[in-house]
Every structure is written in structure tokens, then in C-alpha cells.
Amino acid sequence: MDALLIRELTPADIEALLAFETLNREWFESHIDPRPPSFYSAQGVAEHIEGYLADFAAGAWHGFVIEDAEGHIIGRANLKSIDAASGTAQVGYRIAEKACGQGLATQALKFLIDYAKRRLGLVQLVAYAYDSNVGSQKVLTRCGFVVDQATDDEAENGTTRFVLALGSEPA
């Protein structure tokens, strides 16, 4: 992948984020839970960003967009459910269908790992992937995540829980 930029999500991203999410809606919904239909409007995306920025201000969430060399959003990456007391957070990412297979998800996840460790001082990251989402599972294991014991709810939900003790990730 040529030059890319990973930067914090801002209110100025409404139109570009709506375009990204709409263009990739079917692709995303084949791998992760669908967003509510109300999300797919300028107002819906604005409310989405506003909610995430409120969580960011509270220290519970850090959201990023991934842009290509032309400045188009081609992915998202975030740390959510940040618990400073326990030093943990959950990672999430979504990559545009046209950008898959170029190592972008791995780059995004490595960015999140580094950010969590160096900027937030976290000690463990958690990720969930549907059992059918083999690509995401490969990205997680490539970045050092290991399968963790699933809860009954996760097993019934068809997801696998992955964890990474920060400091144990591959170079």
C-alpha cells in the first residue's frame, strides 16, 4: 500500500465517513454485525461521530480513520472500552473491500498496539472475530494475539475472543 495516514476521527469526517461506510456496507455486513439503517445518513454519521468523541473526551475510546494518498477514507481503527484502571481495551478495525489484501489491516492493528502501549500505557488488548472471518483472525494472530477462553455468550454468538499482552507482540 502506498502512503497512508492514520489520524483521529473528527466532525469534519461526516461526508467522507458516510461515503466510506455506504460504499462498503454490504462487505462489512458480511463480516461483522450490521449498523442500524439510521446510521446511513449525514445526521446518523454525525451522531455516531459525536458519540465517539464524547467517549474520547471521557478516555473510553480512541477512534481513527485511515486515509490513502489521495485523502480518501479506506479504513477505520479504534480502541474502545478503554479501562485505565485495569490497563485494557478492545480493538476494532474495518478496511474497505478494495483495500483488502494489501496489509492495511495489519498496519492498522500494529498502529493500535503501539498507541495503546506507548500513549495510553495499556497492558492488554482484546479483540473479537466471527469464526467465519478468517481474514481478521489471521491479522490478529499475525500481530501476536492468541485465542482466549470464550464465554458462553461468545461461543453462542459464533465469535472467538483474542487477547494480546502488550510487550508480547511480534516485531
CB 5 within 8 A of CB 32: no
Would 170 be classed as within a structural domain? no
Would 94 be classed as within a structural domain? yes
Give the predicted TM-score (pTM) of the model: 0.87
Would 58 be classed as within a structural domain? yes
DSSP letters spanning 103-126? SHHHHHHHHHHHIIIIIT---EEE
pLDDT value of position 168: 65
DSSP label at 53?
Answer: H
pLDDT value of position 155: 55
| Average of per-residue pLDDT across 149-170 | 76
Among 135, 136, 132, residue whose Cα is nearest residue 157: 132
Of the two residues 28 and 54, the one the predictor is more confident about is 54
| Average of per-residue pLDDT across 130-143 | 91
Give the CA count within 13 Å in the CB-facing half-sphere of 12: 4
Would 102 be classed as within a structural domain? yes
Would 171 be classed as within a structural domain? no
Distance between terminal CA atoms of the chain?
19
* Residue 129 reports pLDDT greater than 60: yes
Q: How many domains does the chain have?
A: 1
The boundaries of the domain holding residue 121 are 5-165
**pLDDT level of residue 132 (50, 70, 90 thresholds):** confident
Query: CATH number of the domain that 85 lies in?
Result: 3.40.630.30
Would 88 be classed as within a structural domain? yes
